[in-house]
Amino acid sequence: MRIGAHVDPAEPLAEAAARGADLVQFFLTDPQAWADPKDRPDAEALIASDVDVYIHAPYRINVASSNNRIRIPSRKLLFRHAAAAAKVGAKGLIVHGGHVEKAEGRDAGFDNWRKTFAFAAEEGGFATPILIENTAGGDNACARRFDALARLWDAIGEYEVGFCLDTCHAHAGGEDLLDIVDRVKAITGRIDLIHANNSRDGFDSGRDRHDNLTAGEIDPELIVSVIRSAGAPALVETPGGTEGQTADITYLRERLA
């Protein structure tokens, strides 16, 4: 089972080595900015490395939005990040499911997701596999509650789309972790990556605050069993820097051994 961490983008391979990580995830730009990614000087080293690379798209991206001024730049930024992620040999580009501004606009939101993949298909498809991640908050999210996730997949299922399951987001978003792998796979048919995080907040709180695996509100054994039954690579997006994340990786390796 391959285990890793979300790390600072400056020197991801050094960060991986410091944690004994099999895979790393990082941002190519400031996640809060509308910025195009630049070529990375370590691209060849990242491609040549045994460490698997995942790229997380900026938080600003919301291709579901009914607002043209958000949706159009979001789509462009997603394309550009997929192209840049391919240049570092990324196995996936993780992007949040997004949301619509008003509940009645959700059908349009799912259709905006479909159009995103349809436009990409016209250009030969995304350069890197897109993994849509479930989110923790909001009433009009496309991938918080699984009734919405099912409708999203009805809209985009004809395209090759991956899924990233975040355990903190599921718990805080109000989806029970006990049988979650089966419930996800019944919708998406796949889980490509687990974001293995504990949550500082309660079930269905709608809050997105990650915690270390043996801290927080989720029974950590439940997180382990999600990874085991998904059979997918996992990475922690937990606090505490090298020390905190190394402890989380070690915890997972010991339990999954």
Interface positions with Zn ion (CB under 5 A): 166, 195
d(CA 114, CA 242): 39
User: Which one, 52 or 114, has the nearer CB to Zn ion?
Assistant: 52
Point out the residue whose Cβ comes nearest to Zn ion: 195
Q: Which of 52, 71, 204 is nearest to 138 (CA)?
A: 204
Closest approach, Cβ 158 to Zn ion, in A, equals 26
CB of 56 to Zn ion, least distance (A): 8
- How many CA atoms lie less than 13 Å away from 10 in the CB half-sphere? 1
DSSP 3-state of 25? strand
Minimum Å gap between C-beta 72 and Zn ion is 25
Compute the distance between CA of residue 200 and CA of residue 204 in angstroms, rounded to an integer: 12
* CA 212 – CA 22 distance, rounded (Å): 19
Pick the closest to residue 231 from 193, 199, 204 (CA basis): 193
Give the number of other CB atoms < 10 A from CB of residue 87.
Answer: 17
Q: Which is nearer to Zn ion, 82 or 236 (CB)?
A: 236
Q: Between 25 and 74, name the residue whose CB sits nearer to Zn ion.
A: 25
In sequence order, the β-bridge partners of residue 162 are: 131
CB of 166 to Zn ion, least distance (A): 4
The distance of closest approach from Cβ of residue 134 to Zn ion in the complex, given in angstroms and rounded to an integer, is 8
C-alpha triplet 198, 199, 203: angle, nearest 5°: 120
How far is residue 109 from each of residues 53, 101, 104, 125, measured CA to CA in Å? 29, 9, 10, 20
Nearer to Zn ion, 25 or 114 (CB): 25
Q: Which CB atom, from 19 or from 195, has the smaller least distance to Zn ion? A: 195
Question: Which stretches within 58-128 are classed as H helix?
Answer: 68-87, 106-122
Q: Which is nearer to Zn ion, 99 or 195 (CB)?
A: 195
Report the C-alpha gap between 94 and 154 in whole angstroms.
20
CB of 167 to Zn ion, least distance (A): 9
Minimum CB–partner distance for residue 69 and Zn ion (Å): 26
Nearer to Zn ion, 59 or 119 (CB): 59
In angstroms, the CA 200 to CA 172 distance is: 9
